[in-house]
Amino acid sequence: MSEEKKLAIIATKGTLDWAYPPFILASTAAALGYEVQIFFTFYGLQLLKKKLGLKVSPLGNPGMPMPMGMDKWFPVLGTAIPGMEAVMTSMMKSKMKSKGVASVEELRDLCGEADVGMVACQMTVDLFDMPTSDFIDGIDFGGAATFFEFAGEADITLYI
Amino acid sequence: MANFDTELDASGLNCPLPILRAKKSLAGMQSGQILHIIATDPGSVKDFEAFSKQTGNELMESKEEGGKFFFLIKKS
């Protein structure tokens, strides 16, 4: 194998569905021999919490397939009904489990084992007054310059 | 079917787990040893080709039988 390639990812989203791309790509790249770093900013910081309470919302998401063809006939406003988010989240989770899709926690653990670097955006942590004790161990805190230190040398950079 | 040293049953697992488990199994093996992988994810056929190409571990065999996929990978 030639010299180690590098993958830099910026993770900006904090929903269950969008938690997957950064962790799937990071863990796979690490398995392929890449050195990987993920920079978590804004809502992406939710992905670094010890206790993940990630949800998926049908609200404003016309591309989301729903059971029983509900995405075809269910009124758009109905997706705003209280409890809809919880229902869709638990349905999505059980669907994923039945299809052998890893949980976000599992993929995140695999990233940790594979030495994927995880950097939390310090500015966002301060902005939202997020207690650092809420985050998993082994992460770094930094800013835009920290991101570029790694991304400047990266072969691939993804904004998710 | 050629002989193998280690077997990994990744049945029921979906992308990217078969690849990640295979990587983990290979990490515990000696150079030249052969890993036999069983998977049910149809995407794993292309993925193990790509994995082999990028990691240098030779994909010796890839076949489908009865809805399951079987791979032999030799550790580089």
ipTM of the complex: 0.86
| Alpha-carbon gap, residue A9 to A160, rounded angstroms | 7
pTM comes to: 0.90
Name the closest residue on chain B to residue A24, using Cα atoms: B16
Q: Measured between alpha carbons, how far is residue A132 from residues A37, A45, A129, A139, A146 in Å?
A: 19, 11, 9, 10, 18
Mutation target vs B (from A24, A32, A115, A116; most B CBs, 10 A cutoff): A32
Boundaries of every domain in chain A: 6-54+103-159
Which residue in B17, B23, B51 is closest to A102 by CB distance?
Answer: B17
Residue A65 above 90 pLDDT? no
Q: Are the Cβ atoms of B12 and A102 closer than 8 angstroms? A: no
Q: Which residues contact A128 (CB under 8 A, 6 or more apart)?
A: A45
Which range has the worst mean pLDDT, A63-67, A149-153, B4-8, B41-45?
A63-67
All domains in chain B, ordered by first residue? 6-36+43-74 (3.30.110.40)
Report whether A53 contacts A26 (CB < 8 A).
no
The DSSP output letter for B33 is -
Is 1.10.8.60 the CATH number for A6-54+103-159? no
| Alpha-carbon gap, residue A18 to A32, rounded angstroms | 22
Residue A75 above 90 pLDDT? no
Q: Which residues contact A88 (CB under 8 A, 6 or more apart)?
A: A56, A57, A58, A64, A66
**pLDDT tens per residue, range B20-56:** 999 999 999 999 999 999 999 999 999 999 999 999 9
Residue A2 above 80 pLDDT? no
